[in-house]
Structures are given as structure tokens and as C-alpha cells.
Amino acid sequence: MRTQVGIVGAGPAGLLLSHLLHLRGIESVVLEARGRDQIESTIRAGVLEQGTMDLLTETGVGARMRAEGAVHHGFELAFEGQRRRIDLTGLTGKSITVYAQHEVLKDLVAARLAANGALYFNVSGTSLHGVDTDTPSIRFTHDGEAQVLHCDFVIGCDGSQGVSRAAIPAALRNDYERVFPFGWFGILVEAPPSSDELIYARHERGFALVSTRSPNVQRMYFQCDPKDSADQWSDDRIWAELHARVDSSDGRHVVEGRIFQKNIVGMRSFVSATMQHGRLFLAGDAAHIVPPTGAKGLNLAVSDVRVLSRALDAFYKERRTDLLDAYSATALRRIWRAEHFSYWMTRMMHRLDDASPFEQRLQVAELEHVTTSRAAATAMAENYVGSVAV
């Protein structure tokens, strides 16, 4: 097999990159270890920045997002028994859309198949070869048959546990990581919305987040021990925890319903500051992980492939390599900004076991500042909606 760009991974980064390259007349093949049904049904949060919304619309894959996604013009910060609103649109002129990641994937898969794009699901034994030469290749097995895909470039979009990052020699990688000592207990609930917008709650018992998935399905999280088991939490215990952390003194409260999914996710920050090696380039979770507090994960993947698609277009149309050479440096400017914002939000909103009573009051003082100072609120809003562009 032969193509121009071989893409490992059919997550947001891989599928969107393939779509963007197709629009620029560049061929690609996408290889994915999971099945199509699995990637389209694995429910993951999706808060889309203004730039992500605009790109999906401009490239013809935003119709369902506009029809079914929930546009939010702000969010609420809950602390000390009260809620205060951050007016995203009033402060920045921009908004966000709550539209789950697996719905974005459905739209991108449909677009690639409609364009006769080469998507291979359920592949196994994937390995990268010759990435430090001008003739890289990808070996894999599909439908029981061993295959070799020859390409000009290999793009690793296969997440933190994939083969792509490991193909860069450890001696050449600069990896940075921060593992947090807490996790998020997540539930999906059959219930009407508890609020018109997202609620980020800081409480002495720990963080909580209330988000909307649809008019009848809500997503809620609360800070927990990452080693805990979801089976140990009864529905009554879950609701008691959410009420304690989110309900406000003016009578507004979390709306209960039937819980039909429970899971616990760990929290970490990670950056591979070496996002390219020869003809191999990393994008999305293969290169970086952010805690979900700042709602940046999917949006960073979109930012990466926007930069990369422009660089590949310059190579094929003008034989320029300067944009490809600068890919890591260009992408990392946005990545480190988002990492800092997510880390700041996480530190401000979560219960920190090593924090003294003095430091806990500093958290409250900071929340008071960002909800009463227009300058501080604007800085938060600009980071949240993605005003920091590359």
C-alpha cells in the first residue's frame, strides 16, 4: 500500500487531520486499533472552543454540532454556598458548545467515508519503521492479513498508550508529567438540566462539575480517590456528595435522576516536548494530556492538526519544509498555555490534601478575585474559549 500521509489513530486528531488533508488534495490512510462502533459509542466529554466550532463549520462537518450541540455563553463558579457567573461572550465576544467527543467522531467518520477516505478499523500489530528516513512505513494486520503502508510522513494520533510516541528514541524525548493525587467520579444521569450552563464547584469536601449532555441526559463529576471503586458508591451516597458540594444557599440544587453509568478517571498533566522525529509527527493525546478541568483536551488536538495540515500543505504545494521543521515549537506554544490554564483551574478548584488552612483560604480569595475583577474574569474567559491562538 502507498499513500502520502499515514495516520495512526482514529480519534479527533487523526480523523480531523485526514479530513483537512483531503480538503487540500493530500492523500492519507487512517489506521485504528478499535472498531468503528467502539469509537462512536465511547462517551467522553466535549466542550468545544470557538475556534474548534468555527473550523468544523468551515470544513463542512459542523451541521449536526450546530443543530444538536448546546451553545453556552458562560459558566458558573460555585463556592462558599453561592454561584457567580463568568460571562464568556460578554468578556470575549466568543462562546463554547457542549457537544460530546464521540459525536464529533461520528461526524468525521461519516465525512471521510462519504469522500471514500481510507479508514481501517480493528487493525493490530501496528509498528512504525524508518521514521528517521525519507521512506517511512507502517506495518499492521487487518482482517488477518499482514500489510505494509509506505508513506511520506507518519502522524501519530494514537493516544498516550499508542506505539507512535514510543517510536521516538527515549534519549531524544523530553517528557514532562504531573500526576495528581485525586481523580474524578463521573456519572451519566437521566434527568433535566440542573443549570443552563456548566457549574464548577469548589467545596471543602472537594471539587464537583455539573454539565449537560442533552435535555434529558446530564454528566456530573466529583473529586474522589483515584484508587476508589465505583461499585462502592450507592446512588444515595453519590447524590448526598453532589448536593453537599454544589447546592447553593439560595435554594438552587442538583436535579436527581436515574444514574445509568459510573466511572472513575485519574488526573494528570503530560507533555512530550519532542513532537517530531524525522518524518514522524505526534498530535493530540499522543503528545500531551491535560486534566479535564480546563476543557482543553479535544481542542488541543484540533489545534495540533490545524498547524500540521498547513505545514503538510506547504510541503506538497511549495516544497517548503520550514513549517514542518517548526511544528513542535509552534504547537507547544498553545499546548503549554493550555497546560498552565488547566493546572491553574485544577489547583484552584480541588481539595488539595497537602494544603494548609491558610492555602485553602487562598483558593477562596482567588475565586473571589476572578469573579469580582473584570480583568481577572477576562483572562479566565479568554483561556476558556480559546482566544490564545497559534
- Catalytic residue set: 72, 200, 292, 296, 384
Gap between the Cα atoms of 330 and 127, Å rounded: 27
Retrieve residue 49's grid coordinates: 472552543
| Those residues with Cβ within 8 angstroms of residue 67's Cβ, 6 or more apart along the chain or in another chain | none
Phi, psi of 246 (to 5 degrees): -110, -35
Retrieve residue 365's grid coordinates: 480569595
Q: Could you tell me which of 373, 227, 198 has the C-alpha nearest to residue 293? A: 198
Phi, psi of 190 (to 5 degrees): -85, 100
Cβ neighbour number for residue 22 with a 10 Å cutoff: 18
Burial of 148 per CB tally in 10 Å (0-12, 13-18, 19+): exposed
